[in-house]
């Protein structure tokens, strides 16, 4: 089954799962060095359930993965080329082999970093990294929404690492899906730090 990784970058995306290193290739029609989603053929049932979930049991999959639909992806690729992204200059980068940091590179003389605590700082020292690249992207999306930017991260958010480090799945165990719900508006988040950033938008409105 063809699976699409929605993290946009130039070139391949490597996803290691239980000893197998899946290489996701840029989708059909992508230009050289163009930031796009990528596709890989995966046939191991346990890995498919890990990435996509199990709808019959009400189990959600990993954020950032879906079944590949060529027509849909081609349409999205064409639309993305028409959009000038306000997110150019951000990166999600591997940090000390222990996780990922979000980096703001828009000002060369004032580079900023953010970890899972959700705060920007000029130094990477003592930052607690995000456990996965997807978590870092989710936080950046929420952070940019809070700053009044468009809600969807476009193609320019993806500068940085070229590997998605996914934890090895345990086929016999069902994933635990935890949700963080905003008590003000009811919006649901998959990570606590995204909810924390969202709550700041309510306090600012007050």
Give the pLDDT confidence of 165-204 residue by residue, as tens digits.
Answer: 444 444 444 444 567 788 888 877 767 767 777 777 776 5
Count other C-beta atoms under 10 Å from residue 102's C-beta.
25
Inter-CA distances, 198 with 83, 128, 132, 142, 195, Å? 25, 20, 20, 7, 5
Q: What is the model's pTM?
A: 0.48
> Exposure of 186 by Cβ count < 10 A (0-12 exposed, 13-18 middle, 19+ buried)?
exposed
User: How high is the pLDDT of residue 39?
Assistant: 95
Dihedral angle over CA of 185, 186, 191, 195, nearest 10: 20
């Amino acid at each position: 089954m063809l699976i699409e990784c929605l993290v946009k970058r130039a070139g391949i995306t490597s996803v290691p799962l239980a000893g197998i290193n899946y290489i996701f290739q840029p989708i059909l029609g992508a230009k050289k060095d163009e930031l796009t989603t990528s596709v890989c053929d995966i046939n191991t049932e346990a890995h498919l359930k890990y990435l996509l979930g199990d709808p019959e049991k009400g189990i959600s999959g990993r954020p950032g993965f879906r079944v590949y639909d060529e027509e849909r992806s081609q349409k999205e690729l064409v639309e993305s080329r028409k959009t000038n992204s306000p997110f150019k200059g951000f990166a999600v980068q591997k940090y000390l082999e222990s996780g990922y940091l979000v980096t703001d590179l828009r000002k060369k003389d004032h580079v900023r970093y953010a970890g899972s605590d959700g705060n920007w700082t000029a130094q990477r020292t003592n930052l607690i990294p995000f456990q996965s690249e997807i978590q870092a992207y989710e936080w950046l999306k929420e952070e940019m929404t809070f700053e009044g930017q468009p809600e969807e991260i476009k193609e320019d958010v993806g500068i940085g690492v070229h590997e998605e480090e996914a934890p090895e799945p345990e086929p016999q165990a069902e994933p635990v899906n935890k949700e963080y719900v905003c008590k003000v508006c009811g919006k649901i988040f998959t990570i606590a730090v995204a909810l924390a950033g969202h709550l700041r938008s309510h306090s600012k409105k007050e």
